[in-house]
Structure 1
Amino acid sequence: MKLYNLKYRNEKVSFLQAVKMGLGKRQGLFFPINLPLIKENRLKEMLEMDFLTRSVKILSMFIGDEIKLTELEKYVRNAFSFPGPMIIPVTNNISCCELFHGPTLAFKDFGARFMAQILSHLNKKNNITTILTATSGDTGAAVAHAFYKAKNVRVIILYPHGKISKLQEALFCTLGKNITTIAIQGSFDECQELVKKAFHDNQLKKATGLNSANSINISRLLAQICYYFEAYALINRNNQKKLVISIPCGNFGNLTAGLIAKSMGLPIKSFIASTNINDTVPRFLKTGKWEPNNCVSTISNAMDISRPNNWPRVEELFFRNKWKLNDLGFGSVSDDVTKNTLCELKQLGYISEPHAAVAYRLLKDQIQPDEYGLFLGTAHSAKFKNIVDDILQENIKLPIELEKPSKFPLLSYYMKPDFNKLKEFLLFKS
């Protein structure tokens, strides 16, 4: 399989090269030259498969003979070794698709663990790889746990100091070993900009064997396609024909994966790009002007991103498929509305967390009487225990995955958003 650089289209690489490089020239994202298309009769067969078998089939369509099928099957089974998506009815025509039953209780476990398997495949020569990534909440934990104690891999995670939940922080900032965490005194956008600058520095890349585990890495993105097929397979056939999916969006990788699934032939009717008040994309879809504001902290902190990395991939998909951007649903939700929605969901018998509540609110407001809606549950409510307990007057019990690390000391370094300081740190640590 070949991919091209969206900013420098003459640069073409294989899947494994794209995984290893992370970003291309001019910090460009890689994108498949040919998107596989599944014929209707074949799709029907695939939807009857179990999640793991189908996931191997889907990923093999992109990877081809770069990885032997027997090896790919092993990597998928190792990566997705936890309960898959679960469909939980909330109203008569809306359900939550829960994606948070992995080891770090977030949907990012799918992509991060698959990427770890692919990098282990690439790292057979025992070269040192440095994973540098930025997180607005859940990516950090998923990446840290996916690579924890991995041979010849060190992980550096940047996160905005004081702008993720304490339990999110505890999940990945207490591990140590080959996991290093840096609390940046700034926004997630500033963390993300530091990562981009690092990938633009050839000296740094060469000295450290730099790679990224953000959703800019194609391996993470492709892994996420798999759970859209599973969600579709799990719902009633009558509902499949009228399916609308609302996605809580931060860096827009999750939406990109869903759109790729649709492009492959999965007949999802439409998507809703749901954001909090960091609403660069909703405003762009409304006005046609790309005008990022300064990032604002909200209770749905994993979506506190005003310059989403994956948006160029979304635009490329719409261009390639001759879709119209104005067919994409969108909207933004304030913290006050998010809090009220959490209460509404509780009255319906479902305890949620802020990100899923944003997605539910926009789905509920936009769904038509003849449609069936899924909103994605991207993280366990206990990861936001303080917020959710306060709003709902609950006392959510901590799962063991959160209870244990919450008792450990944080091991983070602290740094201003200064690239020269970060570069010095990375070179010193290499």
Structure 2
Amino acid sequence: MKYYSTHRQSPEVSFKTAVLTGLAPDKGLYFPEKIPVMEKSFFEKLPALSLPEIGYHFLKPYVDGDLSDEALKKSMEAVFSFDTPLAEVAENQYALELFHGPTLAFKDVGARTLARFMALFSGQDKTTILVATSGDTGSAVAQGFLGIPHVDVVVLYPKNKVSRLQEKQFTTLGQNITALEVEGTFDDCQRMVKTAFAHDELNRKMRLSSANSINIARLLPQAIYYFYAYGKVARQNKPVVISVPTGNLGNLNAGLLAKRAGLPVKQFIAAGNRNNVFQQYLETGVLKTRASVPTISNAMDVGNPSNFVRIQELYGHSYEDARQAIVPFHFTDDETRQAIATVYRKTSYMLDPHGAVAWLGLSEYMKQHPDDCGIFLETAHPAKFYTVVEKEIGVKVPLPERLSVRLNHKKRSIPVKNDPQELIDFLMEHKK
């Protein structure tokens, strides 16, 4: 399998090169030359397959030539030390719980996979991982790479725009993890990272790579849990629709890749908050990026989604084809809060703000399609947003031990201005 740049100004590369470099030399994102369709026998066995087994079968053609079957199998078994169960919330409505990993967020799947692939590929050469986070990416990547030899991680996050628990998860680790607290938004953090990747002198002095979903090894593994979820409801013989909380578009992109690989999902729902630039694209055919605004579903506060170009590639830059596959909705903070309260009052199920947005999108869609089987993604444990959730449901959210233990550790971060040169200077000085 070869990977090409979405800018089409760089040579095609192997999976290994795409993983180690993260961003193509022409600053495009890497995309596979083809999307292999899974065989009929795979779908016949799907309800009985484990997450590691699905991961092996799905990723095998993408890593062909760079990872042995044994290495891929061992990687998948190591990644999926936890389940991603379906919880029935209401009739024909299921939550795909993606928060049972080490950092209680869906990004554990991609980050743990990337960490293992990076360790296998980098050898003895020092690699510095740059990652911008709007919340959960930072902790997932930091935990995934913590203590891995020859890899340093630098996490950039927007000051006062991630929850206290999210911040504690990646600013208290030390070792090979450094946190930079940026005076700006997530989009500013992402811009600073991209500028560093484009800096010739910096790239001559050190090997830089990305752990955001711009790295293809972060994106591809997320398709695995879509197959897994479908397998759990396949025997109902109902059309399946999936609602995805939408921000930087990596999670949605992975689901659409799964659909292109043969997953028989009837419809994907892109559920967003006030930062609804992608929803506006699906309604108008024009992507108008803008500065993001803060919301209670902060991981979705993205005004210039990086993975938009990959969705364009997937649909041949056809806005009409994308609109056929994806139904958009967006919701306010007040609607999100109301959803948290309503679902808990009716079912005793606790939603986090991102899962609440996804539930709202699914609920809106199912008003017109009540006989479909609906799945919405619960991407983070509600305890990570306990101040919001507890206010709406009126009870205390149980705090898992692996979250509470970090609260007692001292935050260690370095304040930086909203200026790409500050990141470049830091890397030049401190990462020699």
Is the 1:21–1:211 contact (alpha carbons within 8 Å) kept by the matching residues of 2? Answer: yes
* Pairing 1:251–2:252 present: no
Structure 2, gaps ≥5 residues long: none
Residue identity opposite 1:245 in structure 2? I
Is the 1:80–1:114 contact (alpha carbons within 8 Å) kept by the matching residues of 2? Answer: no
Output the CA distance in 1 between the equivalents of 2:207 and 2:78: 25
Residue identity opposite 1:141 in structure 2? S
**Partner of 2:214 in structure 1?**
216
C-alpha displacement of 1:43: 2.4
TM-score (norm 1): 0.97
Choose which of 217, 229, 232 in structure 2 pairs with 1:231: 229
Query: What does residue range 154-169 of structure 1 map to in structure 2 within 5 Å?
Result: 154-169=152-167
Is the 1:173–1:180 contact (alpha carbons within 8 Å) kept by the matching residues of 2? Answer: yes
- Secondary structure of the 2:316 match is helix
Choose which of 265, 269, 273 in structure 1 pairs with 2:270: 273
- Secondary structure of the 2:357 match is helix
Output the CA distance in 2 between the equivalents of 1:67 and 1:119: 11
Is the 2:110–2:217 contact (alpha carbons within 8 Å) kept by the matching residues of 1? Answer: yes
Query: What does residue range 17-416 of structure 1 map to in structure 2 within 5 Å?
Result: 17-82=17-82, 84-124=83-123, 126-239=124-237, 241-319=238-316, 324-327=321-324, 328-347=326-345, 348-367=347-366, 368-416=369-417
Output the CA distance in 2 between the equivalents of 1:26 and 1:207: 19
My pick for the range that moved more, 361-370 or 270-279, is: 361-370
Is the 1:95–1:373 contact (alpha carbons within 8 Å) kept by the matching residues of 2? Answer: yes
Is the 1:129–1:154 contact (alpha carbons within 8 Å) kept by the matching residues of 2? Answer: yes
Output the CA distance in 1 between the equivalents of 2:203 and 2:392: 45
Output the CA distance in 1 between the equivalents of 2:371 and 2:280: 27
Output the CA distance in 2 between the equivalents of 1:44 and 1:172: 41
Output the CA distance in 1 between the equivalents of 2:319 and 2:306: 22
Residue identity opposite 1:242 in structure 2? P
TM-score (norm 2): 0.96
C-alpha offsets along residues 154-186 of structure 1, whole Å, 9 cap, x if unaligned? 100000000000000011110111100011000
Query: Are residues 304 and 320 of structure 1, via their aligned partners in 2, closer, same or farther at CA, if it must alter by over 3 Å?
Result: closer
Is the 1:8–1:25 contact (alpha carbons within 8 Å) kept by the matching residues of 2? Answer: no
**Partner of 2:14 in structure 1?**
14
- Secondary structure of the 2:3 match is strand
Output the CA distance in 2 between the equivalents of 1:183 and 1:15: 32
My pick for the range that moved more, 3-12 or 198-207, is: 3-12
Residue identity opposite 1:97 in structure 2? L
Query: Are residues 323 and 57 of structure 1, via their aligned partners in 2, closer, same or farther at CA, if it must alter by over 3 Å?
Result: farther
Structure 1, gaps ≥5 residues long: none
Residue identity opposite 2:99 in structure 1? F
My pick for the range that moved more, 179-188 or 366-375, is: 366-375
Is the 1:134–1:192 contact (alpha carbons within 8 Å) kept by the matching residues of 2? Answer: yes
C-alpha offsets along residues 295-347 of structure 1, whole Å, 9 cap, x if unaligned? 11000000000100001111111228997122211111100000101111102
- Secondary structure of the 1:66 match is coil
C-alpha displacement of 1:48: 3.0
Residue identity opposite 1:222 in structure 2? L
CA RMSD of aligned residues (A): 1.4
Output the CA distance in 2 between the equivalents of 1:262 and 1:408: 42
